[in-house]
Amino acid sequence: MNPIISAKDVTFAYPAYEGEASQTVLDDISIDIRPGEFVAVLGHNGSGKSTLAKHFNAILLPSGGTVWVAGIDTRIEDKIYDIRQTVGMVFQNPDNQLVATIVEEDVAFALENLGVPPAEIRARVDDALKSVGMYEYREHAPHQLSGGQKQRIAIAGVIAMRPRCIVLDEPTAMLDPRGREEVLATIRGLNREHGITVVLITHYMDEAALCDRVVVVDNGRMLLDGVPKEVFSHVTILKEVGLDVPQVTELAYGLRCAGYPVPEDIIFEEECVDAIAALLEGRHVDHKN
Amino acid sequence: MLKDITIGQYFPGKSVLHRLDPRVKIILTFLYIVVLFAASNPLGLLIGIFFLIVAYGVSRVPPRMILKSLKPVLPIILFTTLLNVFFIEGEILWHWAFLTITKEGVATAVIMSVRIACLIAGTSLLTYTTSPIALTDGLERLMGPLKKIRFPVHELAMMMTIALRFIPTLIEETDKIMSAQKARGADMESGGLMQRAKALVPVLIPLFVSAFRRADELAMAMECRCYRGGEGRTRMKQLHVGGVDAVCTLFVLLCLAGVIAVNLYAPPLF
């Protein structure tokens, strides 16, 4: 299948100001995102992960290299609304991306912009609100909702465009644990049930562990790219660039360093519990002998 | 304390007036103003008052809201009353030093103050029964024809909507910043006017900085959702003029006709 987003040798630099050198944010990044994938992009602050995300729907255009969205070069100006309809984007602060004073009007915003006929807008807004589980709140004002609910409305506003892919730029960074859980469950549902490709920019390791694929970005370069188990097994590389691994991975890593035979690819709690239980039983048996 | 501020003065309800098309309501409010100013004698004004009583009755907005709406304009009413009472010449009723009260003066004063009171109470009813967002919507559509002369109707309506959307957010933020500054020992409750105004500077600066950042992010989010101005835009909610609107329009027109008839045929009181 053709990739839905494809970046080739993408470089991005903010233009130089007087007396200052231009600042390179992305340095020769190539990545293909295939339809239906659930990809996490990891990196610490200033690693360029948000800048990369903004290249995926033509908010930013590469200084060098090319980005294609569904086969369209993002630099073609006439196609910009096709691109933004194909790849929707959700940002970190839910407060700053809701436009209207009523939930359903906000969800309708993108469709109104696209000139969709009113009856169809109504149907698509209802669908979008149901798919994020916020249909009952359609007549509320955004400021009456919790952070997680607001973020789900923001997601619904993007989903209403029926995009093939959504890019979420740290959507849970400003939420409490419950809100985070709500939003993650929503995103996972959209990916699994509706087949929408998801690119999740995050710095939470446990969120990344749930994805199909993890890409680690540091200093504008792509460092690692693979399934979570593989990526998180590179504990030392991740630590070098200032990223943590999931707690259980770290525990297993510590055990391994201390000479205990623990598998390298532990990323979930249950796996860790099993491994340690096996270890303890094994030792117990050893002791008896 | 800041959380108590309500936007506009919408009084939620499901009455006939609440359900009127906002466009019709705005036009009818203008017509009512015409009625009030066309009424040149007390009988005509009585029609205006009668209309108000019926309208408030139908809207189920509590009558004390009339007083609430009149409170801010009370000084203006008093001022015009005083001017009219003392400065209109005619049949002298009372005289002391340089002050004279005339019969015509008292009559004009009463008519003027009743007229202003009705005007305010009537126009307030529009904002009591129409949510700010419906009002903006109605205005945008009413001013639609002005687009032909390049008047930025859609842009103005969008600005209004965004302002309405962000007022609660910014109020919340102001509250937070004030608490933060108080926690660092800022004193905002004592001192004179100047001192208090100065104490607000450390609140306003972070508020402005954050408002600009929000604006930037909002603009990007709007772009992501394909916003490109009013051109080719459709709306989910369509406004419909229905039977209720027709009945209400008829009622206002009857009032207007009544006032004109009174002006023409009723004998002038003075």
DSSP string over B229-257: -STT---SSPP---HHHHHHHHHHHHHHH
Span A53-70, average pLDDT: 91
B79 Cβ partners below 8 Å, 6+ apart?
none
Size of interface A-B (CB pairs under 8 A): 94
State the ipTM, two decimals: 0.85
A104-A109-A111-A116 Cα dihedral, nearest 10 degrees: 90
Give B-chain residues touching A97 at CB under 8 angstroms.
217-218, 221
| Strands (E) located in chain A | 5-14, 23-33, 38-42, 64-69, 72-73, 87-90, 165-169, 197-202, 213-218, 221-226
The residue assigned the tokens 């959209």 is A190
Give pLDDT, residue B4: 47
What is the rounded distance in angstroms from the CA atom of residue A126 to the CA atom of residue A138? 8
- How high is the pLDDT of residue B7? 53
The pLDDT confidence band at residue B230, using thresholds 50, 70 and 90, is confident
> SS3 helix, strand, coil % of chain B, rounded to 5?
75, 5, 25
From A248's Cα to the closest Cα of chain B, the distance in A is 36
Q: How many CA atoms lie within 13 A of A274 on its CB side?
A: 8
CA atoms within 13 A on the CB side of B124: 23
Digit-coded pLDDT (tens) for B95-130 = 777 777 888 888 888 888 999 999 999 988 888 888
pLDDT at A286 over 60: no
Cβ contacts of residue B77 below 8 Å, gap of 6+? B70, B113, B116, B117
Burial class (CB in 10 A: 0-12, 13-18, 19+), A279: middle
Which residues on A lie below 8 Å from B133 (Cβ)?
A: 100-102, 105
Interface test with A, best of B162, B214, B217, B236 (most A CBs within 10 A): B236
Give the per-residue pLDDT at A169. Answer: 92
* Contact between B233 and A122 using a beta-carbon 8 Å cutoff: no
Contact assignment for A161 to B226 by CB distance below 8 Å: yes
> What is the pLDDT at residue A83?
92
What is d(CA A134, CA A155) in angstroms, rounded to the nearest whole number?
A: 11
**What integer pLDDT is reported at residue A287 of this predicted model?**
44
**pLDDT at B169 > cutoff 60:** yes
Instruction: Please give, rounded to a whole number of angstroms, the shortest distance from the CA of A260 to a CA of chain B.
Output: 49
Taking Cα atoms as reference points, which of A210, A214, A208, A150 lies closest to residue A182?
Answer: A150
Look at B217 and A161 and tell me if their CB atoms are within 8 Å. no
pLDDT at A288: 41
Nearest by CB to B162, which of A84, A91, A99? Answer: A99
Residue A273: which pLDDT band, with cuts at 50, 70 and 90? Answer: confident
Residue A289: is its pLDDT beyond 50? no
Model pLDDT, residue A122: 93
**Chain A hits for B222, Cβ within 8 Å:** 99, 109
Q: Average of pLDDT values for B245-251?
A: 90
Q: Is A9 left (phi over 0), alpha (psi -120 to 50) or beta?
A: left
Nearest to A97 among B133, B164, B221 (CB): B221
B267: confidence class by pLDDT, cuts 50, 70, 90: low
Tell me the pLDDT tens digit for each residue of B39-65: 888 888 888 899 989 999 988 888 888
Q: Alpha-carbon distance A264 to B90, whole Å?
A: 104
CB-CB: which of A59, A96, A114 is closest to B223? Answer: A59
* pLDDT tens by residue, A167-209: 999 999 888 989 999 899 999 999 998 899 999 998 888 888 8
Interface test with B, best of A51, A87, A112 (most B CBs within 10 A): A112
Q: Where are the domains of chain B?
A: 2-156+233-265
| Closest to B29 measured CA to CA, from B60, B59, B2 | B59
Mention every residue, 6+ apart, whose C-beta is less than 8 A from residue A107: A125, A128, A129, A138, A153, A156, A157, A160
DSSP state of B98: T
Its pTM stands at 0.81
Partner-chain contact A113 B227, CB within 8 Å: yes
Q: Please check whether residue B223 touches A, CB under 8 A.
A: yes
Question: Mind telling me how many Å the CA of B96 is from chain A's nearest CA?
Answer: 59
Provide φ and ψ at A213, rounded to 5°. Answer: -150, 140
The residue in chain B having the minimum alpha-carbon distance to the alpha carbon of residue A167 is B224
Give the nearest chain A residue to B212 (CA atoms).
Answer: A96
Residue among B249, B259, B253 nearest B48 (CA) = B259
- The whole-number pLDDT of residue A236 equals 84
Residue among B225, B227, B234 whose CB faces A117 most closely: B234
Q: Does B3 touch chain A (CB under 8 A)?
A: no
Inform me whether the C-beta atom of residue B190 falls under 8 Å from chain A C-beta atoms.
no
Checking if the pLDDT of A284 tops 80, the result is no
Amino acid of residue B240: H
Strand order in the sheet with A64-69: A23-33, A5-14, A64-69, A72-73
How close A112 gets to chain B, by Cα (Å)? 5
Instruction: Give the separation between CA A121 and CA A125, rounded to whole angstroms.
Output: 6
Structure tokens at A200: 């999740």
- CA separation for the pair B120, B69 (Å, rounded): 7
